Amino acid sequence: MNFDDTPQEAEFRKLARTWIEANRPDDLLAVLEALNPDGSKKASTADIVRVSKAWQKRKADGGWACLTWPKEYGGRAATPIQRVIWDQEEGAYGQLSQPFAIGQGMCGPTVMAYADEDTKRRLLPPLASGEDVWCQLFSEPAGGSDVAGLRTRAEKQDNGDWLINGQKIWTTGAHFCDYGIVITRNDPTVPKHKGLTMFWLDMKSPGVEVRPIKQASGHSGFNEVYFTNVRIPDSQRLGKVGDGWNVSITTLMNERFSIGARVATGVPEFFDFASSYRMPDGTLAIEDASVRARLATWASRSNGLKYTAYRAISALSRGERPGPENSIGKLVSAPMMQDIAMAALDLQGPEGARTIDGATPAAKLYQQLYHAIGMRIAGGTDEVMRNIIAERVLGLPADVRVDKDVPFNKIPTKGR
Amino acid sequence: MNFDFSDEQKQLRDEARRFLDENCTTKEVRAILEGKDVYDRKLWKGLADLGLLGIAIPEEFGGAGAGRLELCIVAEEIGRALAPVPYSSTVYLASEILLRAGTDAQKKEWLPKIAKGEAIGALAFVEGPGNPTPGGMKASVSGGKLSGRKTLVADGGVADFAIVAARAGSGENTLSLYLVDLKGAGVTRANVETVDPTRNHAEITFANAPAALVGNEGEGWTLLTQALDRAAVLVAFEQIGGADRALYMARDYALDRMAFGRQIGSFQAIKHILADMYVSATLARSNAYYGAWALSTDAGELAEAAANARVSATQAFQLCAKQNNQVHGGMGFTWEADCHLFYRRSNLLALTLGSLSWWEDALIERMRKRNAA
Ligand SMILES: Cc1cc2nc3c(=O)[nH]c(=O)nc-3n(C[C@H](O)[C@H](O)[C@H](O)COP(=O)(O)OP(=O)(O)OC[C@H]3O[C@@H](n4cnc5c(N)ncnc54)[C@H](O)[C@@H]3O)c2cc1C
């Protein structure tokens, strides 16, 4: 048991560190931080995308974009452990990669698995270099957790093209994205998982309309996307007709988000807050027994996530696949962040209600109060994550699925 | 990074598990619970024969000379098996304190006996309700004779010797550790019934019992807290062993038991209970591994890592044990089902070495210290 790199890992780390040292984007990060003091409402999306693209391009030119992708698609053909090392070295600069997370993390691998060679060579390098930004058009008003309940229609035309009509929702980044992957229903007369087909598309295609949604926090990070007679050539189909469900699983399996990356929990912010906030009697909050008890639980859970990631990294380093223990990350961190944000308000008494902006620990926690709502839902709700752990890790029976073998157009749509 | 146990260490785990699966089923645990004896002597002898009592004792003192990582591996298996033996008192506490602070003569006298299963040790520090404080201990020594009362000593009724925290005088920094032969003069013991009768506890009264200093005079609080930190990592392994077994016991029951024409494991309420148990056990395991690293390398991070492992493992074992009862329904409240064995052990381990709130407090204090540095 040790935290040492193997000689090859150490060599790679040195290479990465040297390159970052020579190309550090402090200027860009400063812009990001000035714009966006921890997610405050004043952030301008266009500026965030601009500075993020600048860093991504710099990385791509240096051969440090999408590390594990093959070189011909804009990657470096690096191993998974090398990617983790890169992430560790990139550290806080990694914030500048955020607009690309979905495109490079989920859309790219799906295109790589299902598109033809020409398409891959054309689409993937600009996705890797950040020139093109991609979004994932899966969720719909009718189905998020139950995404296979989607209703957006794809109808094959006589000339072989597809005509798309319907609506997607909660599409992160659609308002600044160039491309997307979209899952549609080509056949409503068969059971719901069977009549789905996946495509990639240009977000500037005629008939695509993006409407930002104002979030509970006041920001607009996600969107409604309407499709009205949008034409997609059959060559943009990913996977077989009717096989969209399996294709979407490829996408979702690539939710590689966390390994090695730092997950936000709110613990460091709360620690800083409690270390400086004075209680009415003049003592520091962190000296209060009830604060200490709660913080200790949160800190140990947050540490547990960190060391769980270390176990996964060790598996990668041995060339093995990390175990299922990595599925716990978001389920632990998101509700905890919410509890922590509420505890920070509570300590301030009625004054806790006051809106605070800026980069102080209290202001960061205030932002997390909202951020946490979305985190508990995005990419699988807390409840869905528990189902996944129960079924895939612990081997418990799948939920009863009353609509499983019913033709999609015969499934009831109203709760009452 | 290799944040995992080695293949040889995993082999040791398999061996220990095989041995305990055969020799420490819940039938053996129940025999002690029901008072057939105060601890499982046959199992103790078996552990000695396998070299597991002296696994971390250097060869020169009759042990196997392995490291603390190996000890962590064995601890997890002891916890999994709910072994009704004085392993933690003897191995994590008494023998570790002697190794770190004992004189050469003390080590030569006691460690080989421990390794052979011929001596059981204990740590006596609790005096009445409340978590330990340096000022809270009143037992004292004068002229090499110890007097005072330790109200709850884990394995105190079966131990041959104890490390006892007592004052060398009346001043501030006089707390020291002493070795007392419990079979000698001036020692009276009375067994105490606790939440988990599969582990012996006793009240010990010392009246001018001959006592030999362990470590330096006035060093008692430092040695005691260090010993508790080190033991906290090892007990955390016992706790994750127990938590895991309770989790899979509940999972198996959820697959077998039918209600409303379905496996109860198909109800989301049950699935989500089990998922939360898994999450808690996983976090605790990862934290225990970090504690193991810090313990085995004597890292500067040990104090914080130990508190972190202790908090996490205590919460995980208590959650898994109590929810195992819940998943079992009425059966979980019977003497016959094994659920209560885990419930008992999880509650005992949550209190031994100082209770959860004490360790939570310690974790924050240690985080602050690191941040200030
Ligand atoms: C910040 C954010 C960003 C997002 N970005 C994207 C994106 O880029 N692309 C995209 O396609 N989608 C995106 N989403 C959508 C997200 O995937 C869905 O919101 C999510 O899957 C939940 O679906 P829903 O909103 O339809 O809620 P529902 O599925 O209707 O859930 C409502 C409630 O019912 C519970 N529930 C539903 N099914 C079950 C079940 N089987 N068992 C137990 N409980 C259940 C849920 O847990 C929840 O509490 C984003 C969402 C958020 C909040």
- Model confidence at A42, pLDDT cuts 50, 70, 90, reads low
Q: Is B170 part of a structural domain of the chain?
A: yes
Give span(s): CATH 2.40.110.10, chain A. 136-242
Pocket test for ligand 1, best of B268, B271, B273 (most atoms within 8 A of CB): B268
Q: Is A156 left (phi over 0), alpha (psi -120 to 50) or beta?
A: beta
Q: Do B234 and B347 have their domain in common?
A: yes
- Find out whether B323 and B250 touch, Cβ atoms under 8 Å: yes
Ligand 1 mean position, distance from CA A162 (Å): 27
Handedness of CA A217, A363, A90, A43 (dihedral sign): positive
- Count of domains in chain B? 3
- Find out whether A332 and B283 touch, Cβ atoms under 8 Å: yes
Q: Is B62 left (phi over 0), alpha (psi -120 to 50) or beta?
A: left
- Model confidence at A41, pLDDT cuts 50, 70, 90, reads very low
Q: Do B286 and B352 have their domain in common?
A: yes
Q: Is A265 in the pocket of ligand 1 (CB under 6 A)?
A: no
Mean pLDDT in residue range B77-105: 98
Residue A198 to residue A182: CA distance in whole angstroms: 6
Ligand 1 mean position, distance from CA B263 (Å): 27
Q: Is B65 part of a structural domain of the chain?
A: yes
Ligand 1 mean position, distance from CA A385 (Å): 11
Nearest Cα neighbor of A166 from A183, A179, A147, A146 is A183
Q: Do B92 and B57 have their domain in common?
A: yes
Q: Is A43 left (phi over 0), alpha (psi -120 to 50) or beta?
A: beta
Mean pLDDT in residue range A160-169: 98
Q: Is B2 part of a structural domain of the chain?
A: no
pLDDT for res A71: 97
Compare all CA atoms of chain B with the CA of A275 and give the residue at the minimum distance: B368
Q: Is A138 in the pocket of ligand 1 (CB under 6 A)?
A: yes
- pLDDT per position as a tens digit, B321-369: 999 999 999 999 999 999 999 999 999 999 999 999 999 999 999 999 9
Ligand 1 mean position, distance from CA A400 (Å): 19
**Strand-strand pairing, A237-238 and A179-185:** unpaired
Reported residue count of chain A is 416
Q: What's the CATH code, domain A263-380?
A: 1.20.140.10
Task: Establish if A51 touches chain B: CB-CB under 8 angstroms.
Answer: no
Q: Do B244 and B362 have their domain in common?
A: yes
Residue A364 to residue A354: CA distance in whole angstroms: 13
Residue A36 clears pLDDT 60, i.e. is over it:
no
Q: What's the CATH code, domain A7-131?
A: 1.10.540.10
- Find out whether A269 and A361 touch, Cβ atoms under 8 Å: yes
Q: What is the 3-state secondary structure (H, E, C) of chain A?
A: CECCCCHHHHHHHHHHHHHHHHHCCHHHHHHHHHHCCCCCCCCCHHHHHHHHHHHHHHHHHHCCCCCCCCHHHCCCCCCHHHHHHHHHHHHHHHHHHHHHHHHHHHHHHHHHHHCCHHHHHHHHHHHHCCCCCEEEECCECCECCCHHHCCCEEEECCCCCEEEEEEEEEEECHHHCCEEEEEEECCCCCECCCCEEEEEEECCCCCEEEEECCCCCCCCCEEEEEEEEEEECHHHEECCCCEHHHHHHHHHHCCCCCCCCCCCCCHHHHHHHHHHCECCCCCEHHHCHHHHHHHHHHHHHHHHHHHHHHHHHHHHHCCCCCCHHHHHHHHHHHHHHHHHHHHHHHHCHHHHHCCCCCCCHHHHHHHHHHHHHHHCCCCCCHHHHHHHHHHHHCCCCCCCCCCCCCEHHHCCCCCC
Lowest mean pLDDT across A24-33, A393-402, B4-13: A24-33
Q: Cα angle vertex B95, ends B93, B101, to 5°?
A: 90
Residue A128 to residue A113: CA distance in whole angstroms: 16
Q: Do B242 and B357 have their domain in common?
A: yes
Q: Is B239 part of a structural domain of the chain?
A: yes
Q: What per-residue string of b and e applies to A297-325 under the rule 16 or more CB within 10 Å gives b?
A: bbbbbbbbbebbbbbbbbbbbeeeebeeb
| Residue A292 structure tokens | 């200490």
Summary mean pLDDT of chain A: 91
Nearest Cα neighbor of A257 from A126, A139, A87 is A87
- pLDDT per position as a tens digit, A342-382: 999 999 999 898 888 777 888 889 889 999 999 999 989 99
- Model confidence at A43, pLDDT cuts 50, 70, 90, reads low
Examine the fold and report which residue of B198, B217, B236 is the final residue of a domain before the chain moves on: B217
| Residue A64 structure tokens | 């440090």
Residue B331 to residue A59: CA distance in whole angstroms: 61
Give span(s): CATH 1.10.540.10, chain A. 7-131
What angle do the packed helices A45-62 and A7-23 form, to 10 degrees?
130
Task: Establish if A353 touches chain B: CB-CB under 8 angstroms.
Answer: no
- Find out whether A169 and A225 touch, Cβ atoms under 8 Å: yes
Q: Under CATH, what is the fold of the domain A136-242?
A: Butyryl-CoA Dehydrogenase, subunit A; domain 2 (2.40.110)
| Residue A261 structure tokens | 């990356």
Lowest mean pLDDT across A29-33, A73-77, A396-400: A29-33
Give B 206-235 residues with CB within 8 A of chain A: none
Q: Cα angle vertex B242, ends B297, B7, to 5°?
A: 45
Measured between CB atoms, which of A1, A328, A393 is closest to B293? Answer: A1
Residue A256 clears pLDDT 50, i.e. is over it:
no
| Residue B223 structure tokens | 């040695």
Contacts of B327 by beta carbon, 8 Å cutoff, 6+ apart: B250, B253, B254, B264, B270, B273, B274
Mean pLDDT in residue range B173-183: 96
Examine the fold and report which residue of B217, B241, B271 is the final residue of a domain before the chain moves on: B217
**Strand-strand pairing, B161-167 and B121-124:** parallel
Q: Is A399 in the pocket of ligand 1 (CB under 6 A)?
A: yes
Nearest Cα neighbor of A167 from A150, A179, A180 is A150
Q: Is A167 in the pocket of ligand 1 (CB under 6 A)?
A: no
- Find out whether A164 and A232 touch, Cβ atoms under 8 Å: yes
Residue B307 to residue B287: CA distance in whole angstroms: 10
Owning domain of residue B90 = 7-120
Ligand 1 mean position, distance from CA A147 (Å): 8
Q: Is B154 part of a structural domain of the chain?
A: yes
CB contact under 8 A, A3 and B308: no
Compare all CA atoms of chain B with the CA of A84 and give the residue at the minimum distance: B1
Give span(s): CATH 1.20.140.10, chain A. 263-380
Q: Is A348 in the pocket of ligand 1 (CB under 6 A)?
A: no
ipTM of the predicted structure? 0.96
CB contact under 8 A, B361 and A292: yes
Q: Is B147 part of a structural domain of the chain?
A: yes
The CATH number linked to B358 is 1.20.140.10
- pLDDT per position as a tens digit, A267-280: 999 999 999 999 98
Examine the fold and report which residue of B186, B217, B248 is the final residue of a domain before the chain moves on: B217
Q: Do B76 and B176 have their domain in common?
A: no
One-letter identity of residue A93: Y
Pick the residue whose CA is nearest to atom 23 on ligand 1: A144
Q: Do B41 and B23 have their domain in common?
A: yes
- The Cα of A287 is separated from the nearest Cα of chain B by a number of Å equal to 9
Pick the residue whose CA is nearest to atom 48 on ligand 1: A381
Q: Cα angle vertex A370, ends A368, A372, to 5°?
A: 65
Q: Give the number of other Cβ atoms within 10 Å of residue A235's Cβ.
A: 13
Helix (H, G, I), strand (E, B) or coil at B116: helix
Q: Do B100 and B168 have their domain in common?
A: no
Q: Do B206 and B141 have their domain in common?
A: yes
Helix (H, G, I), strand (E, B) or coil at B198: coil
One-letter identity of residue B84: P
Task: Establish if B363 touches chain A: CB-CB under 8 angstroms.
Answer: yes
Residue B67 to residue B99: CA distance in whole angstroms: 13
Residue A394 to residue B273: CA distance in whole angstroms: 12
- pLDDT per position as a tens digit, A171-186: 999 999 999 999 999 9
**Strand-strand pairing, B201-214 and B145-154:** antiparallel
Residue B181 to residue B37: CA distance in whole angstroms: 22
- pLDDT per position as a tens digit, B237-278: 999 999 999 999 999 999 999 999 999 999 999 999 999 999
Residue A255 clears pLDDT 70, i.e. is over it:
no
Compare all CA atoms of chain B with the CA of A288 and give the residue at the minimum distance: B361
Residue A386 clears pLDDT 80, i.e. is over it:
yes
